[in-house]
Amino acid sequence: MVREGAFVADVGTDHGYLPISLLSIGKVRGAVLTDINEGPLESARRNAEASGYADRVELILTDGAAALAAVLMAASTSAYAQDNGNRDEYGNIVR
């Protein structure tokens, strides 16, 4: 289950279809996509660009073990995670 307006991580993204789909229906406001291989991450980048969501995803080349730290770092520095003081009923930052 994905909460409305969440910022999600897709570890082992391959092509990026899941986060792109969530962005396209307005379910999430941004995503971090990680993969251990450059090819799939490049495919995810192309798909995000083609779908018009390249500015709402962070792409990180990393293995599964290091992915959590990378995701947390990307999320904490992303424009979509900056705290503007506005929060929803779950405590999520609202832009």
Q: Strand ranges (DSSP E) for the chain?
A: 6-11, 28-35, 57-61
Q: What is the pLDDT of residues 1-43, one digit of tens each?
A: 888 988 888 989 999 999 999 999 999 999 989 888 999 999 9
Listed in sequence order, the residues at least 6 apart from 92 whose beta carbon sits closer than 8 Å to its beta carbon are 3, 5, 6, 7
Instruction: Quote the tokens at residue 54.
Output: 């390249």
pTM of the predicted model over 0.75: no
Q: What is the pLDDT of residues 73-87, one digit of tens each?
A: 666 665 555 555 555
Average pLDDT taken over every residue of the chain: 80
- Write the DSSP symbol of residue 37: S
Q: For residue 60, name the pLDDT band (cuts at 50, 70, 90).
A: confident
The answer to whether 29 and 4 are in contact (CB under 8 A) is no
C-alpha–C-alpha distance, residues 65 and 17, integer Å: 22
